Structure 1
Amino acid sequence: MGMHPYFTRAEFEARLVRLKARLRAAGVEAALFDEIEAMTWVSGFGSSANRWRCVVIPLEAEPFFLIRALDASVCRQRSWIEDVPTYRDWEYPMPVFAAAMRARGLDRATIGLDFESYGTSIARFAALQTALPEARFVDIGPVVAELRLIKSAAEIELLRRAAAIADEALRRAAAACIPGGHQRDAARIAQFTFVEMGADPYRPGPITAGRGWDFLHGHLGDEPLAPGDVVHIELTPRIYGYSARVMRCVVLGEPEPERQHAAELLAELQDQQIAAMRPGAVAGDVDAILREGILREGLRDSYDNITGYTLGLYGDAGPRTSDFTRILHPGATWRLEPGMVFHVYASAGGAALSESVLVTETGPELLTHLPRGLLVNR
């Protein structure tokens, strides 16, 4: 059995108990997972989709991890799953998959899939049906994404560490934002800090400079920084995929009164929003505190984006940069629960703020701890 660097066997056993309860309720005999986040959470390992790979969890029989032969040894090192059938890069994986299912008596089973999985194209779904013509494939939805909403103590510890790295990396990156400097300096320093402090060597997050009022998700530019520029920094460090996030604006020189005013109002409204993030709170009500406050104050004419989304495990080769399993928006009727972690973010009037927030039994806990407002390099 493989050893995971951060989670014990007991951690994965607890996840498996929760997962199998959901599968029983869905009336399936086995489930197939081929999104990297789902595979990693269930098994301890995930890899890119250069070649198809999947984890199959039967209710009764032994699980298996189908993967290309090149990746099998690292899979065995990291995963608790012992059976790892493989195929060579140029071979078609479906016969190997079908043989593994037949060996477990699952070739006529009801098999659960997430029909919105980005790992299953229309052609691949057709190939699954051809490989197991007597099986029945049913949609179980984003079961793992929903189970991942409630974090274990070990997951929360990783997110705390990632949040501390986010704080320090942003502090160092902001200090590099000086006239004549470059946005790339901030990106380089942030990424160096990630690696130095034990995070994954992954891209730092959106870093954009501009003079306008709406450049939240722009692109890294090459122009030298000048007095009057504002550098928007959102850092997204990960530790074994577990990401905390923080966002601030760095002003080069004296901030305009309007921008300073906007930043102060944003901080005040977001503080009220975070304070409301308690167990049982309705998501739409939490969203409204910030959204309606910003519109009421005239900081924005419309607010077309969400104000927060779930944090946790991100696959290093997945197509999603954010986890929208639960989002804060006007129509959200779901309730916050202890163990949920969110990235709450606000932008208006040329200012932006965000924090990573854990919902505990007694209320919200900020995981990130930078000063709440504009960062000014005079």
Structure 2
Amino acid sequence: MHTLIAPQRGFEFAEFEQRTNQLQAQMHAQRLDAVFFTTEPEFRYFSGFKSQFWESPTRPWFLVVPAAGKPIAVVPEIGVAGFEQTWLEDVRSWPSPRPEDDGISLLAATLKSLAGRHHRIGAMLGPETHLRMPAANYAALQQQLSQHQMVDVSSAVRRIRSIKSRAEIEKIRFACQVTAAGFDYLRRHLSAGMTERDACKAMHLEMLRLGADACPYLISASGQGGYDNIIMGPTDRVLDEGDVLIIDTGATFDGYFSDFDRNYGFGRMPAETLRAYDAVYEATEAGLHLAAPGVTTGELWQAMWAVLETSGALGNDVGRMGHGLGMQLTEWPSHVPQGNVVLKPGMVITLEPGMAFAPGRMMVHEENIVITASGCELLHERTWRDMPVIA
């Protein structure tokens, strides 16, 4: 039975101060008087406020970062008490829900009070972002701030968030170790006759027992000799002789994700299926050998694809071969053919080579690593060299 020791929860206040100082340096370079956030990852990253209440779409939440000093929370009254556990001191609130003015005038007033120098305000407006408020509310905010310019800060924020602190890395490492132990547990308890749903449920319960807080992402797919997708399921499909099962999961600990998969075979496996498994394993090896500071995401993609192409890959429908990882299941950057993001120490990324090896059949492999000063380090045990075959 696995025994895993969880790292300390939360962060020292000095870490939030450092994060905020980094953002304020970027704001100074862009002549921004203030930045506001509306989505949970950014809100939590700079404030330390962590609540499951984000699951409710009823109320908006705003965090304002001034050019100097601590962030200011502009939040519904129901959430004020939760900020006693954070490093913030200035918490402004309104009685929400109030559809006719759900915090917009209070947010606008707060931003106006801070943006009198350059009249430039930052927000997350770029790719892979969204504004967690009704479109009409954002239009109303823009109208109330008509004398100010809205500036996209998503590039600066994702660069800051992409470099993980030691404390962040240890949280991700624990989530990854729990996930790896869950896969090992499943290998010992899988049998033909189970359904995809049975398998995922067994693994889910084991990860929770080992210390995961939750498992928001847990998919599976199966089929004779391979599978045709990696984003659906689990279903009630019964696992039988000749099937391949993939499970891809993202467990969390203290708000940080793991994200990797494992493949299992049942009974006699076709030779082409075993060759595909070997190919994605070797492609991952190529990524592990190359990943280091100074390497680009495009070079990483090319190294993995070269192995798959040599192995007869018909294509890669996933569109990328890995991505960033942290407070979100997938973060910037993506490993794409022409990717120009340079890897740096402290980046946590996935390596995810995948290939279509026959019509309607694919094989995907994924591992989680952190970029170190001289290379990279796996955050969990490497997958099995040979596909495990369940008798």
> What is the TM-score when the length of structure 1 is the normalising length?
0.90
What amino acid sits opposite 2:81 in the alignment? S
In 2, Cα distance between equivalents of 1:112 and 1:284: 29
Distance 1:25 1:158, change over 3 A: same
In 1, Cα distance between equivalents of 2:155 and 2:115: 25
Structure 2 counterpart of 1:269, from 283, 286, 292: 283
Asked if 1:36 is matched to 2:36, the reply is: no
What amino acid sits opposite 2:14 in the alignment? A
Worse-matched range after superposition: 6-15 or 204-213: 204-213
Residue of structure 2 equivalent to 1:143: 156
8 A Cα contact 2:20 2:46, kept in partner: yes
In structure 1, list runs of 5 or more residues that go unmatched. 315-320
Structure 1 counterpart of 2:125, from 112, 115, 120: 115
Worse-matched range after superposition: 113-122 or 358-367: 113-122
8 A Cα contact 1:282 1:332, kept in partner: yes
8 A Cα contact 2:32 2:118, kept in partner: no
Distance 1:183 1:244, change over 3 A: same
Q: Secondary structure at the match of 1:111?
A: strand
Structure 1 counterpart of 2:183, from 165, 170, 177: 170
Worse-matched range after superposition: 339-348 or 155-164: 339-348
8 A Cα contact 1:204 1:236, kept in partner: yes
Q: Secondary structure at the match of 1:234?
A: strand
Q: Shift in Å at residue 147 of structure 1?
A: 0.6
Structure 1 counterpart of 2:262, from 231, 238, 248: 248
Residue of structure 1 equivalent to 2:336: 329
In 2, Cα distance between equivalents of 1:145 and 1:195: 30
8 A Cα contact 1:177 1:225, kept in partner: no
In 2, Cα distance between equivalents of 1:78 and 1:208: 41
Q: Shift in Å at residue 106 of structure 1?
A: 5.3
Q: Deviations over 1:114-150 (max 9, x none)?
A: 2234125543332112233433322223322221111
Distance 1:245 1:377, change over 3 A: same
Identity across the alignment (%): 24
8 A Cα contact 2:115 2:121, kept in partner: no
Worse-matched range after superposition: 193-202 or 271-280: 193-202
Q: Shift in Å at residue 175 of structure 1?
A: 3.4
In 2, Cα distance between equivalents of 1:341 and 1:373: 26
Q: Shift in Å at residue 79 of structure 1?
A: 2.5
Q: Deviations over 1:289-324 (max 9, x none)?
A: 11122122213245552111001112xxxxxx522x
8 A Cα contact 1:108 1:134, kept in partner: no
Q: Shift in Å at residue 213 of structure 1?
A: 4.0
Asked if 1:17 is matched to 2:18, the reply is: no
Residue of structure 1 equivalent to 2:3: none
8 A Cα contact 1:108 1:132, kept in partner: no
Asked if 1:186 is matched to 2:199, the reply is: yes
8 A Cα contact 1:356 1:368, kept in partner: yes
Asked if 1:55 is matched to 2:55, the reply is: no
In 2, Cα distance between equivalents of 1:105 and 1:258: 62
In 1, Cα distance between equivalents of 2:363 and 2:242: 14
Q: Shift in Å at residue 68 of structure 1?
A: 1.7
8 A Cα contact 2:227 2:245, kept in partner: no
Worse-matched range after superposition: 171-180 or 289-298: 171-180
What amino acid sits opposite 2:334 in the alignment? I
Q: Secondary structure at the match of 1:313?
A: coil
Q: Deviations over 1:178-206 (max 9, x none)?
A: 11212222222222223222222233421
In 1, Cα distance between equivalents of 2:116 and 2:206: 48
Distance 1:167 1:264, change over 3 A: same
Worse-matched range after superposition: 7-16 or 123-132: 123-132
In 2, Cα distance between equivalents of 1:10 and 1:335: 27
In 2, Cα distance between equivalents of 1:312 and 1:23: 23
Q: Shift in Å at residue 102 of structure 1?
A: 5.0
Q: Deviations over 1:257-286 (max 9, x none)?
A: 111122112212220121100111122111
Asked if 1:97 is matched to 2:101, the reply is: no
Asked if 1:85 is matched to 2:98, the reply is: no
Q: Secondary structure at the match of 1:81?
A: coil
Structure 1 counterpart of 2:380, from 350, 356, 368: 368
Q: Secondary structure at the match of 1:236?
A: strand
Q: Secondary structure at the match of 1:23?
A: helix
In 1, Cα distance between equivalents of 2:316 and 2:215: 34
In 2, Cα distance between equivalents of 1:108 and 1:334: 30
Q: Deviations over 1:4-50 (max 9, x none)?
A: 93210111111111111111111101111112111111111253443
Q: Secondary structure at the match of 2:216?
A: coil
Residue of structure 2 equivalent to 1:206: 219
Q: Shift in Å at residue 99 of structure 1?
A: 3.6
8 A Cα contact 1:179 1:226, kept in partner: yes
8 A Cα contact 1:85 1:100, kept in partner: no
Asked if 1:283 is matched to 2:297, the reply is: yes
> What is the TM-score when the length of structure 2 is the normalising length?
0.87
In 2, Cα distance between equivalents of 1:233 and 1:61: 45
Residue of structure 1 equivalent to 2:345: 338
In 2, Cα distance between equivalents of 1:145 and 1:78: 25
**Number of residue pairs matched?**
367
8 A Cα contact 2:292 2:374, kept in partner: yes
In 2, Cα distance between equivalents of 1:80 and 1:137: 27
